[in-house]
């Protein structure tokens, strides 16, 4: 996809604050520090659009980015950061859950995992939950540049196995550093958002 425009629109802390207008939405989900902001920046070729930071758990809100004036990419709060107080974590869970369950504009979820490691228990839990709710899902395994080609391929099979992906469920090897996999991710997003 040719990204003509990408702009940050709003951060919301509850469903009632989500934009009106009915444009399609594609959500990005993953644990804190997995590389979600870097992926978003790379997708739209805008370095500073989504803030990247080494401080996991930085954001607790849903962040809306309007792409080509035609759909939203919605950056969900990262999960699984141990230092966040239990009470806050539960709050995030509720926001993500109600968004994923109730937001009618939502067309699909890109779940981001780290290609270097097997998916975590929380990655598995989220994936099972998405499946249970019959949400279209694509898994993107990022940081591929940190592995050799053959190790990357091996780890990709581990991701497929641990998340119990169906054969027709998209699984993309990605690197925000090199741009590997970018076109494949756009293909999935385009399919959902048009
Ligand atoms: P977020 O918390 O999920 O938004 O993660 P960030 O995008 O802030 O990335 C966390 C760290 O991983 C940062 O230091 C990034 O530079 C690094 N990172 C993210 N994606 C990649 C990638 O594809 N390759 C490499 N080598 N580093 C990455």
Q: What is the mean pLDDT of the chain?
A: 89
Ligand 1 atom closest to Cα of residue 174: 23
Residue nearest to atom 19 of ligand 1 (CA): 35
Higher pLDDT, 59 or 144: 144
Nearest to 177 by CA among 153, 151, 150, 142: 142
Q: Domain boundaries in the chain?
A: 6-193
Alpha-carbon span 38 to 40, nearest angstrom = 5
Range with lowest mean pLDDT among 8-12, 73-77, 81-85, 147-151: 81-85
**Does 41 contact ligand 1 (Cβ within 6 A)?**
no
Alpha-carbon span 39 to 179, nearest angstrom = 9
Nearest to 62 by CA among 109, 22, 21: 109
**Does 36 contact ligand 1 (Cβ within 6 A)?**
yes
**Does 54 contact ligand 1 (Cβ within 6 A)?**
yes
> If you count them, how many residues does the chain have?
194
> So what's the pLDDT on residue 58?
45
Q: What is the share, in percent, of the chain residues with pLDDT greater than 70?
A: 88
Ligand 1 atom closest to Cα of residue 30: 3
**Does 31 contact ligand 1 (Cβ within 6 A)?**
no
> So what's the pLDDT on residue 52?
55
Q: What are phi and psi of 160, to 5 degrees?
A: -60, -45
CATH superfamily of 6-193: P-loop containing nucleotide triphosphate hydrolases (3.40.50.300)
**Does 180 contact ligand 1 (Cβ within 6 A)?**
no
> The whole model's pTM is what?
0.92
* Mean pLDDT, residues 139-160 taken together: 98
* Mean pLDDT, residues 154-159 taken together: 98
């Amino acid at each position: 996809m040719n990204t003509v425009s990408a702009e940050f629109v709003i951060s919301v802390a509850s469903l009632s604050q989500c934009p009106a207008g009915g444009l399609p939405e594609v959500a990005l989900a993953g644990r804190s520090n997995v590389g979600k902001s870097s992926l978003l920046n790379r997708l739209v070729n805008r370095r500073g659009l989504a803030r990247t930071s080494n401080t996991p758990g930085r954001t607790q809100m849903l962040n809306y980015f309007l792409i080509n004036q035609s759909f939203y990419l919605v950056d969900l709060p990262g999960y699984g950061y141990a230092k966040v107080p239990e009470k806050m974590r539960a709050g995030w869970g509720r926001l993500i859950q109600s968004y994923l369950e109730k937001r009618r504009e939502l067309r699909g979820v890109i779940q981001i995992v780290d290609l270097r490691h097997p998916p975590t228990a929380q990655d598995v839990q989220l994936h099972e939950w998405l499946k249970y709710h019959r949400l279209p899902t694509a898994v993107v395994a990022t940081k591929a540049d940190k592995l050799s080609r053959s190790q990357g391929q091996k780890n990709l099979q581990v991701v497929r196995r641990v998340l119990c992906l169906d054969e027709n469920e998209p699984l993309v090897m990605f690197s925000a550093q090199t741009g590997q996999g970018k076109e494949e991710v756009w293909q999935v997003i385009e399919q959902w958002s048009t």
